[in-house]
Amino acid sequence: MAADYPGAIYSPRTKTNRSGVVYDAAKETVIFAEDISKDDAEVVAIETELGLLPKGAYASVKARLDALAAKNIFSSFIDLINWQGPDAFSSAADGIGDAGFNCPELVLNSGYVLNDLTYAKTLAYYQNLVAAGKLLTIEFQITTLTTIGDFAAWLNAVNDNADPPADHDYCVGFIIRDSVVYGHCANGTAETETTTGITLSQGSQRTRLKLIFNPGTDCKFYVDDVLKLTITTNLPTAFSFRIYVGLQNLGEDVQTMRVARVLIDKAY
């Protein structure tokens, strides 16, 4: 907060007038403790309205406002994956599993055998999606989980053909292990994986998993628009990625995961 509000006070502080001084609202040239407390309360109200980090991923609030003022549909690359038919995707499933392209959702059903995998990924790579100094934002939305635990899931931008991706494959994204959501970055030889502290719930939902990747600097991971962690190590250096969504059974029950649209925004 201090970087955004140099005199941030977080909550009003009680002031007391000097002994013998009595508050008189009519004396406008005299500053009383009550006046300063009122100013403090107004500052706190502003802080509450703007949130804990109004500058977001920018250097300052002004920089963020300037960027918003300049932003239009031609200021960034935007793509929306709404799972409309299988032709643009490569998909496969082990056992009785299947991948259903039910626009606007992807429905992944695993087989019931241990390690049965079901996945869908973009048929081609997004070429040169990553550029130094240009933020890349990707958001996934999970709308249904039929069971909790005994499964792994990948919601990633990855540069590799393995199914599922190896932990060290070039990647930024989310991995779910036994319902716990992790942020994941890998540079082709090593990976960093850290928990978001979020455990997903069973049933119908709309859980938004968003990452903001600043190449060469960091990757921030959000759950429902709340920043949960920042990874600065083992960031991928690849420039082209494909979107990969996979579900693997780690028990003996069929698992189902529904994923709504995937939104991609890459700054020019």
Q: List all residues 6 or more positions away from 214 whose beta carbon is below 8 Å from its beta carbon.
A: 57, 133, 135, 220
Whether 11 shows a pLDDT value over 60: the answer reads no
Q: What is the pLDDT of residue 13?
A: 59
Rounded to whole angstroms, how far apart are CA atoms 238 and 204? 35
Q: What is the pLDDT of residue 19?
A: 81
Q: What is the pLDDT of residues 172-209, one digit of tens each?
A: 999 999 999 999 999 999 999 999 999 999 999 999 99
Give the mean pLDDT of 26-42.
74
Mean per-residue pLDDT of the chain: 89
Give the mean pLDDT of 211-216.
96
Q: Which two tokens stand for residue 144?
A: 């249904």
Show the domains of the chain with their CATH numbers. 1-6+16-70 (no CATH), 76-267 (2.60.120.200)
Q: What is the pLDDT of residue 2?
A: 47
Picking from 76, 176, 168, 173, the residue whose alpha carbon sits closest to that of residue 121 is 173
